[in-house]
Amino acid sequence: MASNGTGSAATVSHEAVGDLSHDELRRMYETMLLARQLDERMWLLNRSGRAPFVVSVQGHEAAQVGMAFALDPNRDWLVPYYRDLALVLHFGYSARDAMLSLLARAEEPNSGGRQMPGHYGSREKRFYIGSSVVGTQFPQAAGFALAAKMRGEDTVVVTSIGEGGTAQGDVHEGLNWASIHKLGVIFFVQNNHYAISVPMDREMAVKTVAERAAAYGIPGVRVDGADAVEVYLAAREAVARARRGDGPTLFEAVVTRMTPHSSDDDDRLYRSREEVQSYKERDPLVVTRQRLVDLDVLDEVHESEILARVKAAVNDATEYAEQAPLPDPSEAFKHVYAEVGQTV
């Protein structure tokens, strides 16, 4: 089960996932698969010169889906980061949204084509718009939770970051605030061991991110991020803690970054092909699929249905986005300030 910074793996029985129906477990897997196949399509579009930039979710899908399913998209908030495709898909972001963003089309829902792909934001779907600056989201997430607390809501706020970003001062400041005021925030660190090219032992002198939680007087949880079910079970506890008003959790999911940092990065300069090849053994799609098979949740019929739906969604999204109009140049000058006369 979830551990306090020790990193031990968990064993999950049939009973332990009792509050997730088999249908929900299959949807979990389907969201992971959709994220993966969208991501793979994005790389194809990039390498064929049709998309300028891709930032990848591959290797992070199970961690994100496990966290997402512990949340309520109707009352909780995400303050995501640029790898959170699977997380936002669960909150209602569509395959078309992802492709419109990749190709910077006018109806792209995050920013109308102003920001690079991976900068997710939708007030309606309850995830906050991010910037490219790493760490700023931690105090902002505390602010979201503070507002909810002041209104007496039991909203849980999840903010994401990679382990590299935890070196930022804002990360400490956000954790400090949330701890002091027992705010309902889950600080969700997706530890893929690299900050672009810099390995973990050059980012921090501790072995795990989760052990830093002790410095804030809050629980630090470390889970195997390849197994969506295990992440879900640990996330469920962190969510329950937040809803009870007991405060934040520093939640570390150990994942792999199966691709370079982005389409502009070449990871052959800093990690061996053997290392990257070894990630396939802990591919979250493979690990989670096996978990569901072991739980008798997934059979061949389900799997072929899921694959067909995902393939259709990715093809539809690609075609739709490629035909969608680009933004009008005049859009570049809009939304700097509110319209004159508007008040809050």
Partner 1 sequence: MEHDERVMILGEDVGKRGGVFRVTDGLQEKFGELRVLDSPLSESSIIGVAIGASANGMLPVAEIQFLDFIHPAMNQIMSEAAKTRYRSGGDFSCPIVIRAPYGGGIHGALYHSQSIEALFTHIPGLKVVAPIDPYDAKGLLSSAIHDPDPVMFLEHKRAYRAIRGDVPDEMYTVPIGKARVVREGTDMTIISYGWYVQEVLEAVDAYTQQQQASIEVIDLRSLRPLDSETILSSVIKTGKVMIVHEANKFGGLGGEISAIIAEEAFPYLDGPIVRIAGPEVPAMPYAAPLEKAFLTSADDIRAAIDRLAAY
Catalytic annotation, pick one of 96, 222, 257, 289: 257
Q: Is 90 a catalytic residue?
A: no
Distance spanning both ends of the chain, measured CA to CA:
46
The answer to whether residue 140 forms part of the interface with partner 1 (CB under 8 A) is yes
The answer to whether residue 101 forms part of the interface with partner 1 (CB under 8 A) is no
Locus of tokens 């969201």: 31
In the complex, minimum distance from the CB of residue 139 to partner 1, in angstroms, rounded to a whole number: 3
- 122, 243, 267, 322: residue in contact with partner 1 (rule CB under 8 A): 122
Q: Is 261 a catalytic residue?
A: yes
Contact 256, 199 (CB under 8 A): no
- 21, 131, 272, 304: residue in contact with partner 1 (rule CB under 8 A): 131
- 29, 81, 91, 128: residue in contact with partner 1 (rule CB under 8 A): 128
In the complex, minimum distance from the CB of residue 156 to partner 1, in angstroms, rounded to a whole number: 12
Binding residues among 68-97 for partner 1 as defined by CB under 8 A? 77, 79
The answer to whether residue 112 forms part of the interface with partner 1 (CB under 8 A) is yes
Helices (H), the chain: 22-47, 61-69, 85-90, 95-102, 137-150, 169-180, 228-243, 273-278, 284-294, 300-323
Q: Is 172 a catalytic residue?
A: no
3-class DSSP assignment, residue 279: helix
The answer to whether residue 177 forms part of the interface with partner 1 (CB under 8 A) is yes
In the complex, minimum distance from the CB of residue 344 to partner 1, in angstroms, rounded to a whole number: 5
The answer to whether residue 273 forms part of the interface with partner 1 (CB under 8 A) is no
Cβ–Cβ contacts within 10 Å for residue 214, how many?
13
Residue number with CB closer to partner 1 (106 or 308): 106
Helix/strand/coil (H, E, C) string of 124-156? CCCECCCCCCCCCHHHHHHHHHHHHHHCCCCCC
CA–chain centroid gap for 75, Å, is 18
The answer to whether residue 110 forms part of the interface with partner 1 (CB under 8 A) is yes
Locus of tokens 């994401």: 160
Residue number with CB closer to partner 1 (27 or 181): 181
In the complex, minimum distance from the CB of residue 272 to partner 1, in angstroms, rounded to a whole number: 35
The answer to whether residue 133 forms part of the interface with partner 1 (CB under 8 A) is yes
Binding residues among 204-243 for partner 1 as defined by CB under 8 A? none
Beta strand 198-199 pairing with 194-195: antiparallel
Encoded amino acid at 71, one letter: L
Buried (b) or exposed (e) across 283-311, using 16+ Cβ within 10 A? bbbebbbebbeebebbeeebbeebeeebe
The answer to whether residue 34 forms part of the interface with partner 1 (CB under 8 A) is no
The answer to whether residue 145 forms part of the interface with partner 1 (CB under 8 A) is yes
Contact 46, 53 (CB under 8 A): yes
Active site residues: 257, 261, 270
- Binding footprint of partner 1 on the chain (CB under 8 A): 77, 79, 110-112, 114-115, 119, 121-123, 128-129, 131, 133, 136, 138-151, 169-170, 173-174, 176-177, 180, 334-338, 342-344
